[in-house]
Amino acid sequence: MFLCLVQELDYDDVLELREYQLQVRVDDPEFFTTGTVTIQVTDINDNAPVFSVNEIQVNLTEFPSTEPGDPVTAFTATDIDSGDNGEFE
């Protein structure tokens, strides 16, 4: 006996369930039994981080006004994967 998927599962799709509970029944000519199958969808690292903007332009004044180690600009990025899969450097 097999359970098969009829469509792809995507943990990151907010419209998708992340847990499925199926009631199953097995019959023979005289008896039957029932059980529950629980399927938990886990996340994989399948999404790249995304910058908050596509391009940053910075104008810097030459040395001595700007020195090595001075902050140049700030930006953010996000990753929709969960847990460690959503972490980046």
Average pLDDT value over all residues in the chain: 92
pLDDT, tens digit (0-9, with 9 covering 90-100), for 39-78 = 999 999 999 999 999 999 999 888 788 888 889 999 999 9
CA 58 to CA 73: how far, in whole Å? 7
| pLDDT for 67 | 85
| pLDDT for 21 | 96
Q: Tell me the mean pLDDT in the region 74-88.
A: 92
Token pair belonging to 87: 């972490």
| pLDDT for 63 | 79
The distance from CA 26 to its chain's CA centroid, rounded to whole angstroms, is 36
Structural contact between residues 32 and 26, judged by C-beta atoms closer than 8 angstroms: yes
Q: Specify the pTM.
A: 0.66
| pLDDT for 11 | 92
Q: Tell me the pairing of strands 19-27 and 32-40.
A: antiparallel
| pLDDT for 80 | 92
| pLDDT for 61 | 85
